[in-house]
Amino acid sequence: MFTFLVFDGDRPAKAWPVRNAYLVGADGNAIRSDIRVEKGCILIEKRETGAAGFALQHQAGDIGELTVQTCLLPETDVPYILNLELARHRLMLLYTKLEEWGMFELADDHPVTRRASVARDLFIKALCLQHDEPAEAARIGQQALIAAVDGSEELALAHSELLLNKRKSAGALPKAPIGCGITIEHNDDRLKTGLRNHFDFVQLPVPWKTVAPEENGYAWERMDDWAQWAGRSRMPVIAGPVVSFEPTCLPDWLYIWEHDYDTVRDLIYEQVERVVSRYKNVVQMWNIVSGLHVNSHFTFTFEQLMDLTRMCTMLVKKIQPGAKVMIELRDLFGEYYANNPRSIPPMMYADLVVQSAIGFDAFGLRLQMGQAVQGQHARDLMQISALLDQFSHTGKPLYLTVSTPSQMVTEMMIAKPDSDEPVDDKSGYWRRPWSESVQSRWLEAVFQIAISKPFVEAIAWQDLIDYPNIELPLSGLLDEEIRLKSSFRRLVGFRQSLHNIGKDNASTDLGAGL
C-alpha cells in the first residue's frame, strides 16, 4: 500500500479532492488500484507488484490545476508527503529534458535556469524538514512544484523556439502545416471562404451516424457538398475518422451487433468500402481508424482490434493506392487503461501497429483538454512536448488534432446523458480558468511546440465553429453566430509567420470570408 500525507495549512487535511487519479507502472502504463482518502492521507492499494508513480489532478498555483505525478516509488510503511513527491518528479523531468535536449548551456539569467534553481533549493529545504515538520515540508514542497512546473514549461517553449527557427532556416517546414476541422452540418459560404484563405488543409469528418442513419440507408448530401467544394477549391483534405467506436460517431442500429464481432467486421468493411470509393477523388489522406485502442464501448479482444486495424488500412490501399492512411490515437496519456483491461495503452498500440507490418503512413494524435471526461483533463506544456517525443521512435510522421474550450465548461452545467441533473465539470485548467484569452495563448504555445518537432507533419484545430453537439463544448475558433474568437486571430497570425506572409501580402481582415 502507498500512503501520501496531505495537509490543509499546518494540519492534516480533513478532505482532499482526488480527481483523475491513477497509478503509473514502470512501463509508463496506468495500472489498476483502489484509492481512498482517510484522516489526512491518500491510501492506495495497487493490484500489481513493483514500484509505481501516483498521478492526480493537483492545484499548482498560478500554473493552473493540472494532472501531475510522482516518481516511481516503492511500497513502504513510512508515508510519503504528496507535494514533495510531485515536486521530485517534476524536477527530475526538468533536468532529464535539459540533458536530452542539450540545453544545459543556458545563461544564468535565463528564465529556465532561474526557475530550476529556485525549485531545486526549495525541494532540498523541504527534504530536510520532511521527518520533523511534515506540514512545513508539504508547504515548501508545493512551492518547489510550482517553480519546477513553471521552469519546465519555459524549457518546452525555449526548446520549441530553437527547433522551429532551425526548421525554418533549413527549409524543412511542411508545405501544408496548419489545418482545421469542420462539421458537415454547417454549410456556409463564409466558412468555406475563410477556410480557403487561412488554412492549408481541412479535416472533413465522416460520421457513420450521419452518413448512414439507418442500416442500408445512406444520406450523402451534406458530405457531397463539402467534398465538391474541396475539389473545386483544390483544398487538401484529411477525411475521417471513418471508423470510430465513440458514441458520437456510431449509428444506433450498429449496437444491435455489438457482441457479434464477425457481423460488425463485415459492416465496417462495407462502410469503409463505400466511403473511400465515393470520395477517393478529393481526399488525399484517410483517418481510417480512431481510438480503437481505448475499446471502451465494444467488448472486442486484442486480436480483434488489431484485425480491424489491418483490414481497414488494407482496404483503403486497395481502393485508392495513392492515398495516405492515418491511424489515430486518442486519450494519449492512457488513464483509461487503469480501469479497462480490454483496452491497449496508446504507446503499446502504436508499437504493435508498427511491428505488425500494417500498411499505413502516419499516426494521428487527438489531444483535447477542458472537459472532465476520460482523457481531457488539463496537462501542462512540458507534458505535451514530452508526449510527442515518445512517438518519435515509431518512425512515422505525426498529425495532431487539438482543442480546448474558450470558457470553463463548468459554467455550462453540462447534464449527464439520460439525466436531468446538472453536474460540474472538474477538468482542471491551464494558467487561468479557460477563456478566449487562455484558449488563444494555449493554441499558440501548443502549435509552436508541435511544428518545431521534425517528426510532426501538421497540426489542426479540431473544430472551426461552435455547434450544439460539439464533442468539446465551446472549443471552436468561432462562436455559433460565426463571430471570430481571439484564438482564430492568433492561429492565423501563427500561420502567417510560418509561411513568411508579410502584412503587405496578408489580408487586412484576418477573418476574410468570415
C-alpha span between 390 and 255 (Å, rounded): 35
Q: What is the pLDDT of residue 413?
A: 41
| Residue 75 domain-assigned (yes or no) | yes
Q: What is the pLDDT of residue 410?
A: 64
| Residue 153 domain-assigned (yes or no) | yes
Q: Say if residues 353 and 309 touch (Cβ distance below 8 Å).
A: yes
Q: Pseudo-torsion of CA 292, 293, 299, 301, nearest 10°? A: 110
In 3D space, the residue among 9, 77, 79 whose CA is nearest the CA of residue 41 turns out to be 79
- Mark 299-322 as b/e (b = at least 16 C-beta within 10 Å): ebeeebbbebbbbbbbbbbeebee
Domain of 39, in residue numbers: 2-164
User: C-alpha angle with apex 378: 374 to 382, nearest 5 degrees?
Assistant: 120
Given 360, 380, 414, the domain boundary residue is 360
Q: What is the pLDDT of residue 215?
A: 85
| Residue 274 domain-assigned (yes or no) | yes
Q: Tell whether 135 and 280 lie within a shared domain.
A: no
Report pTM: 0.93
Q: Which amino acid is at 138?
A: A
The model's pLDDT over 257-305, given as tens digits with 9 standing for 90+, comes to: 888 999 999 999 999 999 999 999 999 999 999 999 998 778 889 899 9
- CATH number for the domain that contains residue 348: 3.20.20.80
Q: Say if residues 26 and 50 touch (Cβ distance below 8 Å).
A: yes
Given 325, 340, 360, the domain boundary residue is 360
Q: Tell whether 143 and 30 lie within a shared domain.
A: yes
Q: Tell whether 119 and 250 lie within a shared domain.
A: no
Q: Helix (H) and strand (E) counts for the chain?
A: 12, 20
Helical segments of 293-407, H only: 302-319, 346-355, 381-390
Given 103, 138, 164, the domain boundary residue is 164
Q: Tell whether 130 and 219 lie within a shared domain.
A: no
Q: Tell whether 108 and 241 lie within a shared domain.
A: no
| Residue 219 domain-assigned (yes or no) | yes
Q: Tell whether 160 and 231 lie within a shared domain.
A: no
Q: Tell whether 345 and 214 lie within a shared domain.
A: yes
Q: What is the pLDDT of residue 297?
A: 78
The alpha carbon dihedral of 59, 62, 68, 70 has a sign of: negative
Q: Is 424 helix (H, G, I), strand (E, B) or coil?
A: coil
- In the chain, helix, strand, coil percent, each to 5? 40, 20, 40
Q: What is the pLDDT of residue 512?
A: 57
Q: Tell whether 44 and 105 lie within a shared domain.
A: yes
| Residue 199 domain-assigned (yes or no) | no
Q: What is the pLDDT of residue 506?
A: 44
| Residue 416 domain-assigned (yes or no) | no
Q: Tell whether 218 and 119 lie within a shared domain.
A: no
Q: Tell whether 65 and 151 lie within a shared domain.
A: yes
The model's pLDDT over 146-183, given as tens digits with 9 standing for 90+, comes to: 999 999 999 999 999 999 999 999 999 999 999 999 99
Q: What is the pLDDT of residue 217?
A: 87
Q: How many domains does the chain have?
A: 2
Q: Tell whether 36 and 157 lie within a shared domain.
A: yes
| Residue 317 domain-assigned (yes or no) | yes
| Residue 23 domain-assigned (yes or no) | yes
Q: What is the pLDDT of residue 298?
A: 82
pLDDT < 50 stretches in the chain: 411-424, 504-508, 510
Q: Tell whether 216 and 148 lie within a shared domain.
A: no
Residue 34 phi, psi dihedral angles, 5° rounding = -115, 125
